[in-house]
Amino acid sequence: MTGPDFSHAQEAITQGATRVAGVDEVGRGPLAGPVTAAAVILEPGNVPDGLHDSKKLSAKRREALHDALMTCAEVSVAHASVEEIDELNILRASHLAMERAIAGLSTPPDIALIDGNMIPRGLTIPARSIVKGDAVSLSISAASIVAKIRRDRIMWDLAQQFPGYGWESNAGYPSKTHKEALQNLGVTPHHRRSFKPVHNILYQEKSVSD
């Protein structure tokens, strides 16, 4: 199976770019927690071996690659909160996290390679969207790994504060354990109230109280 390569970034470099950022987000599907984005600028000739779509890597391999990227690449991580997700919708909140991650780089990149089929509307730099970019672009693969690790760490910390939902293993996604805990333990401040399973429980509670 062919893995990601540097061709998309190299194409931008041949067109005059010197700083090419790969950008990806993690956490659109969970019922709880923020959505997290990373922007990563790789240094050609100093790219860690084994970069790939974070979903195709083991947890141990992701951790190792994350740590390697923190030493050899420029990395920026940003989030959109549960409140912003509920207010804006998950797509716009995901794009907001991406915009924040790009803005957090030391200086603006010449171009951003964005995972997906849409470019965040708030970007003020050139950008290119790449469908399944985390599987074809090393720059986006790197961003997917960093975003995944950082968000998982947030959810692990929240799991210590709110035990029973299984966030340390399901990262807030709607697993059986998580959905059962929602019914038995209720909704926490970290749940996305606009998401149907959470909204339905809140509506049930309101109906009972009324």
**What average pLDDT does this structure show over 158-183?**
97
* Residue numbering of the annotated binding site: 24-25, 115
pLDDT, residue 206, reads 56
pLDDT in tens, 120-133: 999 999 999 999 99
Is CATH 2.40.170.20 the classification given to domain 7-162? no
* Residue numbering of the annotated binding site for a divalent metal cation: 24-25, 115
Confidence band for 210, pLDDT divided at 50, 70 and 90: very low
Q: Where are the domains of the chain?
A: 7-162
Mean predicted lDDT score pLDDT of the chain:
94
By the 8 A CB rule, do 105 and 21 touch?
Answer: yes
pLDDT in tens, 22-41: 999 999 999 999 999 999 99
pLDDT in tens, 34-63: 999 999 999 988 999 999 999 899 999 999
Task: Say what the pTM is.
Answer: 0.94
Question: What DSSP assignment string belongs to the chain?
Answer: ----BSHHHHHHHHTT-S-EEEEEEE-SS-SBS-EEEEEEE--TT---TT---GGGS-HHHHHHHHHHHHHHSEEEEEEE-HHHHHHH-HHHHHHHHHHHHHHTSSS--SEEEEESS---TT--S-EEEETTHHHHBHHHHHHHHHHHHHHHHHHHHHHHHSTTS-HHHHTTS--HHHHHHHHHH---TTB-TTSHHHHHHHHHHHHHH-
